[in-house]
Amino acid sequence: MAEVLVLVDHVDGEVKKVTTELLTVARRIGEPAAVWIGDGADAGRARLAEYGAAKVYVAPAELGDYVVAPKAELLAKLVGDTSAAAVLVSATAENKEIAGRTAVKLGSGVLTDVVDVTAELVAEHSVFGGSTITHAKVRTGVPVIAVRPNAVTPEPAEGAAAQEDVAVEVSDAAKGAKVVERVAEEKGERPELTEAAIVVSGGRGVGSDDFSVVENLADALGAAVGASRAAVDSGWYPNQFQVGQTGKTVSPNLYVALGISGAIQHRAGMQTSKNILAVNKDPEAPIFELADFGVVGDLHTVAPRLTEEITKRK
Ligand SMILES: Cc1cc2nc3c(=O)[nH]c(=O)nc-3n(C[C@H](O)[C@H](O)[C@H](O)COP(=O)(O)OP(=O)(O)OC[C@H]3O[C@@H](n4cnc5c(N)ncnc54)[C@H](O)[C@@H]3O)c2cc1C
């Protein structure tokens, strides 16, 4: 069975949920082989084994010190060495750039922001605010596919996760940009935004930097908090929580939009959410075209009542 390379997303050895999703997809196509860049492979291997990784290719840790180019060189080399059937990465901004560069090196087609992939390597996209599903297949070379976090449900399956160290000669050109400092995002009690099963986001309709109406509902639901760009640009919420085209992409089971109009740039970051609940006082707000459940009303009345009811039922 041909190998399917999965680029691992991890923070200091802690494997992110999206990698377990990619391994689940990879198992449909062939034999999943994880590709580990940076420190912490020893700590992360057990989790990769739980989701069926047969092998773990471990690159020299120093590769993690560079920006995207050496990672693309590594993936292209591994495809050549292993005759892999496909390369899967998560559809983060950094990994989409790695995917593009890898595809150029391989002379392959690349598909990004995919929400599912079949055993035959047919990729599914959700477009036009989730109203249309399209299918695409790479016709040239080894497909390089970037899959959105939370689009696929991870399913455990035992794998050996046998470690294989990879020696790679990175070109001088690829070493042109080096990471000089990493600043960890503030990590609170709430789940990480791109991995959360429920996201509650607030927009301009919140009306001030008092986001407690959004946070209280999020905490009652065990959800992450997000924000529209209008709320972020107003200085009401930190920009790492922005959802949308120029923010994070989320695809939770439930997305709650409080006082968000539903501009196309906001939709770009949340339209693949499985269920969308919108609260907006304007019945004509475009978010209602996308929402599975809509409440026309003042969020400052609706959200606290919802929070109270959920808290009561817990
Ligand atoms: C290149 C580019 C990139 C962009 N990237 C992003 C991005 O990543 N993310 C993003 O979000 N935007 C992005 N934008 C901005 C986007 O176009 C919108 O301006 C923005 O999403 C609007 O945010 P909003 O819905 O909170 O505000 P508004 O559009 O002003 O909507 C506020 C909504 O709140 C409702 N409301 C007001 N008061 C209440 C109340 N008390 N109760 C209930 N409802 C109420 C109103 O009816 C209205 O529908 C981008 C724009 C550009 C040009």
Compute, in angstroms, the gap from residue 229 CA to the centroid of ligand 1. Answer: 6
230 CA: nearest ligand 1 atom: 23
243 CA: nearest ligand 1 atom: 9
- What are the tens digits of pLDDT across the range 166-219? 999 999 999 999 999 988 766 678 998 988 999 999 999 999 999 999 999 999
**Radius of gyration of the CA atoms of the chain, in A:** 20
Share of the chain above pLDDT 90, in %: 82
Q: Does residue 299 have its Cβ closer than 6 Å to ligand 1?
A: yes
Nearest CA to ligand 1 atom 23: 230
* Cα–Cα distances in angstroms (integers) from residue 223 to residues 107, 207, 215, 252, in the given order: 41, 21, 9, 10
Q: Looking at the predicted structure, is the pLDDT value of residue 164 above 90?
A: yes
* Tokens 């959004």 -> residue: 214
**Whether 296 contacts 241, CB under 8 Å:** no
Nearest CA to ligand 1 atom 9: 244
What is the CATH architecture of 3-175? 3-Layer(aba) Sandwich (3.40)
- What are the sequence ranges of the domains in the chain? 3-175, 193-313
Best-predicted range by mean pLDDT (27-31, 124-128, 179-183)? 27-31
Q: Does residue 201 have its Cβ closer than 6 Å to ligand 1?
A: no
Record the pTM.
0.81
Q: Does residue 259 have its Cβ closer than 6 Å to ligand 1?
A: yes
Compute, in angstroms, the gap from residue 271 CA to the centroid of ligand 1. Answer: 15
Q: What is the mean pLDDT of residues 230-249?
A: 94
Q: Looking at the predicted structure, is the pLDDT value of residue 154 above 90?
A: yes
Ligand 1 probe mutation, 213, 225, 229, most atoms within 8 A of CB: 229
Please state, in angstroms and rounded to a whole number, the distance separating the CA atoms of residues 281 and 278. Answer: 10
Question: What's the order of all strands across the beta sheet hosting 116-117?
Answer: 116-117, 123-127, 132-136
Compute, in angstroms, the gap from residue 232 CA to the centroid of ligand 1. Answer: 10
pLDDT recorded at residue 238: 95
246 CA: nearest ligand 1 atom: 8
Ligand 1 probe mutation, 250, 266, 271, 302, most atoms within 8 A of CB: 266
Same fold, 3-175 and 193-313: yes
pLDDT recorded at residue 47: 97
Q: Looking at the predicted structure, is the pLDDT value of residue 130 above 80?
A: no
CA neighbor of 163 nearest in space, from 56, 81, 61: 56
Compute, in angstroms, the gap from residue 308 CA to the centroid of ligand 1. Answer: 26
Q: Does residue 298 have its Cβ closer than 6 Å to ligand 1?
A: yes
Ligand 1 probe mutation, 213, 217, 228, most atoms within 8 A of CB: 228
Q: Hey, what are 179's tokens?
A: 């990471």
CA neighbor of 285 nearest in space, from 204, 176, 169: 204
Domain 193-313 indexed as CATH 3.40.190.10: no
* Tokens 């180019």 -> residue: 69
Task: Write the CB contacts of 280 (distance below 8 Å, at least 6 apart in sequence).
Answer: 205, 257, 259, 260, 261, 287, 288, 294, 295, 296, 299
Q: Hey, what are 123's tokens?
A: 């990729």
Compute, in angstroms, the gap from residue 309 CA to the centroid of ligand 1. Answer: 27
What is the dihedral angle through the alpha carbons of 141, 113, 247, 254, rounded to the nearest 10 degrees?
-160
Task: Write the CB contacts of 73 (distance below 8 Å, at least 6 apart in sequence).
Answer: 105, 168, 170, 171, 174
- What are the tens digits of pLDDT across the range 263-307? 999 998 998 898 999 999 999 999 999 999 999 999 999 999 999
